[in-house]
Amino acid sequence: MKNSRTLFSQLTDFLPQPQFRRCVARYRGNHKVQSFTCWDQLLCMAFAQLTYRESLRDIQTCLRVSERKLYRMGIRGKVSRNTLANANKTRDWRIYADFAQLLIAEARALYVDDGFGVELDNTAYALDASTIDLCMSLFPWAKFRKTKSAVKLHTLLDLRGNIPTLVIITDGKVHDVNILDQFAVEPGAVYIMDRGYLDFARLFVMNRSLAFFVTRAKKRFDFRRVYSNPVDKSTGVQCDQTILLNGYKSSKDYPEKLRRIRYFDEENQKRFVFLTNNFDLPALTIAELYRSRWQVELFFKWIKQHLRIKKFYGTSENAVKTQIWIAISVYVLVAIVKKRLGIKASLYTILQILSVSLFEETPILQALSSADYQADEGDSGNQLMLFD
């Protein structure tokens, strides 16, 4: 029997509409809206992400060519460039941020039993930020430098499934370490950060919240050794010490003991010094946990290459945040579909298939898993320096 629904409509079946309507109602998104609702806006922007449209006019042209299929795709309102631009500018971006968080919660539940290369019972998060450069004349609100604007994506990535559990969008001037004040610490979780987040007062707050951190020490680091644990240097671990901070300010900010691990990465011929408040895990596991931080860098690289977040359809702060949050929702939606349907193809492969076949009337499971696709991500993770 011939399937009469497009791949796009089958894909959006995985979006929980009742929860989306509650998000819309929370911010009165459809107040005085006659035809082009927030749901229509979400679907149009999701279509643009999946097919990598260049502009609002491009979105309008592509959708109007297939106008007879729009109703079956779930888009009820008439699609026009001006209507979509106005919706992105005026409808509260928090609608899509809240909805993305609902999708994130669903995805995390699906991937909770997945591994990430390190034997660990705790939840592990990688925290990092990525800067998206913007034109100063078009985005004056996104302050960064005298001649350049930018926004920053501060992301807390759950390493089980590479799901972004928290995304905070700021202008480019906000320092990475300030984000530690803006999220609730989960007791028992492990937070993996580079040395840009090395602030002893904030790390002590994390320690008192019964969470663990793994970070790198800076070069000029004043401490005194309290105890040294025996190590097997053939594993790369050069020393495993219990230390106290010596500096006047740092010792007041973090008055308790820390663990200092020096590790030699034989492959890249580099030495690293890690700091953590976890005294139970083996030293090599701490080093491997920090190595896994590269996944958040790959996440940024991946979404910049395969979703539309480096160029924007609008110049207002609301339009930029709306587009970023819908892009994140699309990423998480594809991850949900992959898991729920048991598809072995990579997220990259799934997006490649969807980008050229959204209007096809083929069962989605057949379209995404009938062929022996090669999971070529375009860029190998080995090209990144894992400890940089």
Q: Residue 381: what pLDDT?
A: 41
Break the chain down into helix, strand, coil percent, rounded to 5.
45, 20, 40
pLDDT at 370: 65
More confident residue, 348 or 128: 128
Cα distances (angstroms) measured from residue 77 to each of 12, 15, 180: 16, 19, 42
Look at residue 377 in the predicted model and tell me its pLDDT.
46
Q: Please name the residue that has the structure tokens 């048991």.
A: 342
Q: pLDDT band at 80, cuts 50/70/90?
A: confident
pLDDT tens by residue, 140-194: 999 998 889 999 999 999 998 889 999 999 999 999 999 999 989 999 999 999 9
Res 383 pLDDT > 50: no
Please answer whether residues 82 and 41 qualify as being in contact, where contact means their C-beta atoms are separated by less than 8 angstroms: no
Q: Compute the average pLDDT of residues 29-38.
A: 88
**Tally of residues, the chain:** 388
pTM: 0.88
Least confident of 49-58, 74-83, 103-112, 146-155: 74-83
3-state SS, residue 349: helix
Share of the chain above pLDDT 70, in %: 93
Q: What is the reported pLDDT for 203?
A: 96
Average pLDDT for 225-244: 94
The yes-or-no verdict on residue 255 having pLDDT over 80 is: yes
pLDDT for residue 64: 82
Predicted confidence at residue 18, as pLDDT, reads 95
- pLDDT band of residue 387 (cuts 50, 70, 90) is very low
Quick one: CA dihedral 198, 285, 296, 17, positive or negative? negative
- Residue 359 has a pLDDT of 85
C-alpha 67/C-alpha 366 separation (Å) is: 25
**Helix orientation angle between 17-26 and 94-111, rounded to the nearest 10 degrees:** 150
High-pLDDT (> 90) share of the chain, %: 63
pLDDT grade for 373, boundaries at 50, 70 and 90: low
Residue 167's Cβ-count burial label (10 Å; 0-12, 13-18, 19+) is middle
pLDDT of 77 strictly over 70: no
DSSP per-residue string spanning 185-232 = PPTT-EEEE-GGG--HHHHHHHHHTT-EEEEE--SS--EEEEEEE---
Indicate whether 388 pLDDT > 50: no
What is the arithmetic mean of pLDDT over 298-322? Answer: 89
**Cβ of 176: how many Cβ atoms within 10 Å?**
17
d(CA 191, CA 158): 10
Looking at residues 114-133, what average pLDDT do you find?
Answer: 90
Could you tell me the CA-to-CA distances from 309 to 11, 63, 111, 240, 370 in Å, in that order? 21, 20, 25, 42, 30
Nearest to 79 by CA among 31, 42, 29, 54: 42
pLDDT of residue 380: 43
H-helix segments, 2-93: 7-12, 17-26, 38-51, 56-65, 67-73, 81-90
Mean per-residue pLDDT over the chain, rounded? 88
* Cα 1 to Cα 84: distance, rounded to the nearest angstrom: 36
Residue 108 CA to residue 121 CA, distance in Å, equals 15
Chain CA centroid to CA 246, Å: 37
CA 259/CA 166 separation, integer angstroms: 28
- For 66, 275, 327, the CA distances from 302, given in Å and listed in that order, are 29, 29, 12
> 380 is written with which tokens?
């190998």
Closest Cα partner for 239 from 190, 293, 286?
286
What is residue 372's predicted lDDT score, i.e. its pLDDT? 54
